[in-house]
Structure 1
Amino acid sequence: MNLEERVQQVHKQIEEACLRSGRSAEDVNIVAVTKYVSTAMAAKVLDSGLEHLGENRWQNAEEKWNALGQRGTWHFIGHLQSNKVKDVIGKFEYIHSLDRLSLAKEMEKSAAAQGLVIKTFVQVNISGEDSKYGLAPEDTADFLRKIQGFSHIRVIGLMTMAPFEDRAEDTRMVFRGLRELRDDLNLQGITKEPLTELSMGMSNDFEVAIEEGATWIRLGSVLVGKEEEE
């Protein structure tokens, strides 16, 4: 399939997952993960009608952002090192990977210097895997309390990464756990405004994530595919 056909197929799968779970497809946003493709391919993604691009390292995103930064809405979806914050803030409208206080302080400092408010997801390690970044679920409430005074960081929701499973169904409890954690945090009233967003689900498991409440899905191979011939 070419890019246009893959985009159509993904939209169909989103609609079917929403139908199964009683949701509206309009509530699900696609972040096209372009970290493994060229600037030309990223441009094709934007030409296809998708507007959200996801990158996980500034050194890989820099060329694409310089060429296309005025077109799309950019999401930083990877682990963010504190010394890279200055490169990312002001270019990426969304940060999906806030997971520690030292990073929050650097983000607040950089955003304040530019007069910006950055939309942010707090990353939570629901699965408990040592290989995954993110806060432990039981530490998330305390972390949110600590950053409430940071006026240039707007936490809009939570993010997690599920283990790669041969059966997508086996990821369900991870996604359900993030949704239940978000709902519990909202009941506690820790944040100034309710957490509405859930960034979860990738190419192999996004339909299950949608059924469990994902509002942002991060799609690479199933959507962008391999480099196409010019």
Structure 2
Amino acid sequence: MSIRTNLTQVIENIHSAVHKRSKTLINESKNVKLVAVTKNHDVAAIQEAVAAGVLAIGENRIQEAAKKAQILQKQVEWHLIGHLQTNKVRQAVQLFDLIHSVDSKKVALEIDRIAGALGKRQDILIQVNMANEDTKFGIASKDALTLAKSISNLEHVRLCGAMTIAPFYDNAEQARPLFRNMCQLFMELKDMNLANTNIEWLSMGMTNDYIVGVEEGANLVRIGTGIFGQRQY
């Protein structure tokens, strides 16, 4: 199937998932932003997706994103969804509109320093390791709100919400409790009304589990294979 056909199906699934949300769900937003994840897909595929209506591109690797962005120029938003090391912060701040993967005060401080030097205020999300997996990055859920308070004091960083990655389950329904807990944490973060923040994005859900993620309150999803097919290695 074509990228356009796949994208249409993904959007239909998102709309259907929004309508299935519990009426008591605190996260009431009906608008869900789709980030097309282009890791290991070429510029031609990205251009096809943009022509079909994609407005935001997500990349795991800064170097790969930089090469693609140079060709595409500023047609879309660029989101960093992969782990960010402090020695890559300058490149990240120069390139990305939203960084999903901030999981420590150390990284946040470096983003603040670099963004200040570049005359920018960098939008970020806190990455939360809700499943406490040793193989995944992210701050523990019990420490996420404390990190948020620290970030709110930074002049050149704007905290815009939170992100999580669920374990890969054979049945996406297994991710539902985790996503539900993440949505609750997101609402606690929002209710803190921290200064210098704009808490609007709950980023959770990828190709295998985004429908459940949206049903449980996600308003930002990261879809790669569901749009582009299997990655080319």
The TM-score normalised by the length of structure 1 is 0.93
Which deviations, in whole Å up to 9, do the C-alpha atoms of 1:87-114 show, x marking residues without a partner?
1112110000010111111111111111
Query: Relative to structure 1, is the Cα distance of residues 226 and 182 closer, same or farther in structure 2, using a 3 angstrom cutoff?
Result: closer
Q: SS at the partner of 1:150?
A: coil
* Ranges of 4+ aligned residues in structure 1 off by more than 4 Å: 22-26, 191-194
Is 2:87 aligned against 1:83? Answer: yes
- Is 1:179–1:212's contact at 8 Å kept on the other side of the alignment? yes
Is 2:2 aligned against 1:2? Answer: yes
Identity %: 36
Is 2:16 aligned against 1:33? Answer: no
- Is 1:30–1:217's contact at 8 Å kept on the other side of the alignment? yes
Q: Distance in 2 between matches of 1:100 and 1:107?
A: 11
- Is 1:15–1:25's contact at 8 Å kept on the other side of the alignment? no
Q: Distance in 1 between matches of 2:191 and 2:62?
A: 36
- Is 2:129–2:138's contact at 8 Å kept on the other side of the alignment? yes
Q: Distance in 2 between matches of 1:193 and 1:10?
A: 30
- Shift of residue 193 of structure 1? 4.4
- Shift of residue 194 of structure 1? 5.6
| Match in the other structure for 2:16 | 16
Q: CA RMSD of the aligned region, Å?
A: 1.9
Q: What are the equivalent positions in structure 2 for 1:62-81 lying under 5 Å apart? A: 62-81=66-85
The TM-score normalised by the length of structure 2 is 0.92
Q: What are the equivalent positions in structure 2 for 1:134-145 lying under 5 Å apart? A: 134-145=138-149
Q: What are the equivalent positions in structure 2 for 1:1-230 lying under 5 Å apart? A: 1-21=1-21, 27-193=31-197, 195-226=199-230
Query: Relative to structure 1, is the Cα distance of residues 160 and 65 closer, same or farther in structure 2, using a 3 angstrom cutoff?
Result: same
Deviates more, 1:128-137 or 1:190-199: 190-199
Q: Distance in 2 between matches of 1:63 and 1:194?
A: 30
Q: Distance in 2 between matches of 1:48 and 1:163?
A: 30
Unaligned runs of 5+ in 2: none
- Shift of residue 74 of structure 1? 0.3
- Shift of residue 185 of structure 1? 2.6
- Shift of residue 195 of structure 1? 2.2
